[in-house]
Amino acid sequence: MESVATKQSYEDYQRYAGLAGDAVRAGGEVVRAGAMEHGYFVRPTVLAGLPPDHQLWREELFVPIVAVEAVDSLDEALARANDTRFGLTAGLFSREQAEIDAFYARIEAGVVYVNRAAGATTGAWPGVQPFGGWKGSGSTGKNIGGHYTLLCYLREQSRTLCA
């Protein structure tokens, strides 16, 4: 069971689960029983078998829904991953250094992970790394909290004292 933060997220979850149709392999339901009756509780959802052009591949969902599919190569995986107007986070599991290097060089996302077992594509680690996206997931391509944005939080002032 998961809770989503807002009524809008709760409604988004229901809409996305409905759009998935027969692709729902697990979850896809809201929970309204017992102590969960008055909150925004949902079952984490796994989707498989969505067509490549399905809307759910093209949106940032921000709810506990994951879509999975098999691909024939890293090249195909990268092409599919980059074929979106978004680029917040991305992750890869591999032991092959050539694959890791290709992923880092070609993935179009602001925060990327390799072999991160605890949430392969979930946000940034607060206090450890900056956070931000590319393309439609960010406005500048500069991650918040990084070296490039620090100066945005400062104010310049030229001072002259004439005696």
**What does residue 31 show for φ and ψ, rounded to 5 degrees?**
-115, 120
Check whether residue 106 and residue 162 sit in a common domain. yes
So what's the pLDDT on residue 124? 64
From first to last of its 163 residues, what are the pLDDT tens digits of the chain? 788 989 999 999 999 999 999 999 999 999 998 888 889 999 999 999 999 899 999 888 889 999 999 999 999 999 999 998 888 888 899 999 999 999 999 999 888 889 987 765 566 665 666 667 677 676 666 666 666 666 766 777 777 778 8
Check whether residue 35 and residue 88 sit in a common domain. no
Full-model pTM: 0.75
Number of compact structural domains in the chain: 2
Check whether residue 37 and residue 60 sit in a common domain. yes
